[in-house]
């Protein structure tokens, strides 16, 4: 018996081979995002997103002069 | 003898420094500004050793730096997402390079096997140690997740890219 790899989806565990896999990148000034999508007959059954923050927030205190 | 020599050299010293200053070869100007160690102390008081959490907010919400504390208003909801969000690994303390203080969570923030069907685009990092004080809100573009993972990988923890910086 051969074990078929399954993946957790919104429709339960499905054979990964039965799904269409796509990735999308979003490159913005402050972050880089990778979105992974698995679809079954056009329906999105699993979607993950991974954000890499390129840089955070900068706060500059104001010092008054005399 | 020493004093006489000093008196003799003083005009020469003054003339030389005036010349170097005027010619731009040597700068003598004082500068004003909040000190680096003061900024580090301020940031340290906010983050060092604190218990932090990260909550996600809908793209339609108005959460931002004017929020003083964590709020459930506009927070996402969905399968495997608990109100208030997830814990933030806080192994770093406020650092200082020159006059810029900085701090970054020490690990990726991950929401596992969640379904968040309504678009969200913002995370609030807040301190449960300090009555849920809002430390910062960060946006990352509109997103949904279906039976999947959402992860926020942190930038390099330094004075140029750290997640929170006082410069």
Task: Tell me the pLDDT band of A64, cut-offs 50, 70 and 90.
Answer: confident
pLDDT at B17: 64
Beta bridge partners of A27: A32
Disruptive mutation site among A9, A16, A44, A59 for chain B (greatest number of B CBs within 10 Å): A59
Contact partners, residue B30, CB within 8 Å, separation at least 6 = none
Among B88, B146, B151, B163, the residue to mutate for chain A (most A Cβ within 10 A): B146
pLDDT band at A2 (very low <50, low <70, confident <90, very high): low
φ, ψ dihedrals at B78, nearest 5°: 165, 180
B36-60 tens-digit pLDDT:
999 999 999 999 999 999 999 999 9
Instruction: Judge whether residue B5 has pLDDT over 90.
Output: no
Q: A62 to each of A37, A55, B44, B105, how far by Cα in Å?
A: 46, 22, 19, 26
* Residues of chain B neighbouring A45 (CB-CB closer than 8 A): 146-147
Q: Strands, E, within chain A: which ranges?
A: 6-9, 12-15, 20-27, 31-40, 43-53, 57-59
How far is residue A9 CA from its own chain's centroid? Answer: 15
**What ipTM, to 2 d.p.?**
0.90
pLDDT of residue B6: 65
Enumerate residues 6+ apart whose C-beta is below 8 A from B68: B133, B134
Q: Which whole number is the average pLDDT over A37-61? A: 95
Contacts of B128 (CB under 8 A, 6+ apart): B50, B51, B52, B53
Contact residues, B window 135-154, toward A, CB-based 8 Å cutoff: 136, 138, 140-141, 143-154
**A58 CB contacts (<8 Å, ≥6 apart)?**
B165, B166, B167
Asked if B33's CB is within 8 angstroms of A63's CB, the reply is: yes
| Vertex A58: Cα angle to B73 and B58 (nearest 5) | 20
């Amino acid at each position: 018996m051969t074990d078929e790899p399954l993946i957790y989806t919104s429709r339960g565990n499905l054979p990964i081979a039965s799904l269409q896999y796509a990735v999308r990148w979003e490159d913005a000034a402050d972050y880089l995002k990778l979105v992974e999508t698995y679809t079954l007959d056009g329906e999105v059954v699993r979607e993950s997103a991974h954000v890499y923050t390129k840089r955070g927030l900068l706060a500059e205190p104001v010092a008054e002069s005399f | 003898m020493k004093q006489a020599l000093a008196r003799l050299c003083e005009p020469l010293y003054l003339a030389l420094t005036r010349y170097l200053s005027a010619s731009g070869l040597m700068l003598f100007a004082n500068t004003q500004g909040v000190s680096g160690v003061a900024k580090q102390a301020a940031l340290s008081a906010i983050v060092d050793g604190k218990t932090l959490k990260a909550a996600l907010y809908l793209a339609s919400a108005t959460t931002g730096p004017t929020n003083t504390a964590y709020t459930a208003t506009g927070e996402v909801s969905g399968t495997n997402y608990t109100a208030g969000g997830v814990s933030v690994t806080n192994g770093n303390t406020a650092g200082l390079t020159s006059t810029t203080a900085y701090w970054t969570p020490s690990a990726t923030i991950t929401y596992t096997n969640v379904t968040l069907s309504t678009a969200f685009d913002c995370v609030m990092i807040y301190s449960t140690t300090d009555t849920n004080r809002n430390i910062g809100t960060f946006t990352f573009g509109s997103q949904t997740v279906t039976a999947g993972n959402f992860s926020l990988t942190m930038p390099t923890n330094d004075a140029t890219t750290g997640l929170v910086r006082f410069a």
